[in-house]
Amino acid sequence: MTAEFCGKALAIEHDGEVYSCDHYVYPDYALGNIRATHLGEMAFSARQQTFGYAKRNSLPAFCRQCKHLKLCWGECPKNRFVRSPDGEPGLNYLCWGIRRFHDYAGPALRQLARQSE
């Protein structure tokens, strides 16, 4: 969930339907059925690539300017349903907690890394 791109965790339901992600098992995200279409074809389809890149490409400016961007990447797009401080839609509702965690844990983790050198 903290990767720059999504789309590598397809979901396959009991009936063979394949979806872009296990968080998006909805008709709009159905890629096809493994009984009719090879899984590789769906996994590497243009539609799936668009889904994967949308995670990064749909970030609000508030996220793109955040010092923690490379640690978070806006987390899961499914959780992006609040507005940023400047009113732009698409901010993750967990943003404030994620930022607080990284502000707190980051210095300690950097110190531990230095000690292990």
Phi, psi torsion values for 32, nearest 5 degrees: 145, -165
User: How many other CB atoms are there within 10 angstroms of residue 10's CB atom?
Assistant: 16
Phi, psi torsion values for 60, nearest 5 degrees: -70, 160
Q: Looking at 15, 22, 28, 86, which residue is catalytic?
A: 22
* Cα–Cα nearest to 22, from 7, 4, 43: 7
22 catalytic, yes or no? yes
Q: Which residues are catalytic?
A: 22
